[in-house]
Amino acid sequence: MINPTEVNSLIRLLDDPDNEIYDHVHEKLLGYGSEVIAYLETAFEQAFDAVQQERIANLVHEIQFRSLKTDLQLWHQSGAFDLLQGILIINRYQYPDLDEQRVINQVESIKRDIWIQMMNEASPKEQIKLINHVFYNIYGFSGNISNHLDPQNSYLSQVLETKKGNQISLAIIYSIIAQKLDVPVYGVNLPQHFILAYVDESMENNFEGGILFYINAFNKGFIFGRRDVDMFLKQLNLKFDKQFYEPCSNTDIIKRVIRNLISAYENLGSAEKVVELNELLAILDNNPGINQRIMK
C-alpha cells in the first residue's frame, strides 16, 4: 500500500544537489511503479524548479517505459495472438495516457459499418471490394505520401485520427477489421513494402499456401497476384524466399513497426528514442517458441 506522505517527501527531495541522495530517492520512487505517477504529475504541476520538473518528467517516462517493456514481453511470451493488443502496446510508447478503449471502439465502428453491408455469400474479391469501399471511400483512409517518414504514421491512435498512415499501419488496421468479420486476410512481410494476403484456409496445404490473391492496403486495397510479387522481388534483385509470399507472425509485424519507428526517429536525430526502441526490438528477438500469425 502506497504511503502518500512518504511519497510526497521523497518527491520533494528529487532536486537535491547531492547525487547520492538523488539516486536513493530515484530508485525508491521507481520501485513504486505506476502507482506513484499521479503523485509525480501533481508535483510537476506545482514545481517551480526546472531541475525538479525535468527529473519528475524523466522519472514518469522511466516508470511508463518499464511498464511498457513488461507488457510487450508478456504479450510476446504468451503467443502474440492479439495483434490489436500488440500495436496498442507500441502506441503507449508515445501516448502512455491514451484512452485505449476509445481506439478499440473506433476499430469496432469501422467493422460494424462494413458488417451491415456484407453478405455472407459474397465472393472473396467482393468482400475485399466492400471493405475497400467503406475503409477508403467512406472513412477516407489513405497512404501518407507527403510525409512518409513521420513517426506518427506508425502510431495506431494517430492513424485512426488522421486517416493517414504508412504501408504497415494501414495493413494492420485493415487486417484486424477483416478478421473480425471472418475474412481471412493476413500480413505478408515483403521487403520494402508490407502487403496483405487473402488466404483460403481450406487450401493451406497447397503449393500456393492457400493464397487466393494479395492486397495493397497503402494503395486503396488494390488486388494483385503472385506474379506481381515475383516481378517486385526481381526489381529488388532478391531471390525466391517463401516468407516473402506467405503470412507472417504478429511478432514479425510488431518488429517491423518498431523498425519503422527507429528509422523515423533516426531521421529526426532522436537518439534516446532510438536506444529505447532498440530495447523493445530486443524483447521480441527473444523467441519464446511460439510463432503465431494474426489471430482473430
- As a whole number, mean pLDDT of residues 166-185 equals 97
Binned at pLDDT 50, 70 and 90, residue 290 comes out as very low
Alpha helices in the chain (DSSP H): 4-12, 19-32, 37-46, 50-77, 83-94, 100-117, 124-132, 156-162, 167-180, 226-235, 250-268, 271-285
Radius of gyration of the chain (CA): 22
Looking at residue 288, its pLDDT comes to 53
* Domain residue ranges of the chain, discontinuous segments joined by +: 4-77, 83-285
User: For the ranges 15-29, 106-120, 219-233, which has the lowest average pLDDT?
Assistant: 15-29
Range of weakest confidence among 107-116, 195-204, 250-259 = 195-204
3-state secondary structure of 196: strand
Q: Is the pLDDT of residue 217 over 50?
A: yes
The one-letter amino acid code at 38 reads A
- The pLDDT tens digits of the residues spanning 9-49 come to 887 877 778 888 878 888 888 888 888 888 888 888 887 77
pLDDT class of 161 with cuts at 50, 70, 90? very high
Worst-scoring range by mean pLDDT, 109-113, 124-128, 159-163, 285-289? Answer: 285-289
Q: Quick one: pLDDT at residue 45?
A: 81
Taking CA 88 as the corner, what is the angle to CA 87 and CA 90, rounded to the nearest 5 degrees?
65
Percent above pLDDT 90 for the chain:
61
Give the contacts of 13 (CB within 8 A, at least 6 positions apart): 21, 22, 25
What integer is the mean pLDDT of 215-227? 95
- The Cβ-side half-sphere exposure at 93, using a 13 Å CA radius, reads 27
The β-bridge relationship of strands 142-143 and 185-188 is: unpaired
The model's confidence at residue 289, banded by pLDDT at 50, 70 and 90, is very low
Instruction: Choose the weakest-confidence range: 48-57, 61-70, 83-92, 253-262.
Output: 48-57
Mean pLDDT, residues 152-167: 96
More confident position, 111 or 22: 111
What's the pLDDT band for 103 if we cut at 50, 70, 90?
very high
Q: What is the mean pLDDT of residues 104-132?
A: 93
pLDDT tier, 258 (very low <50, low <70, confident <90, very high otherwise): very high
State the pTM of this model.
0.88
pLDDT at 292 > cutoff 50? no
Q: What is the pLDDT of residue 4?
A: 83
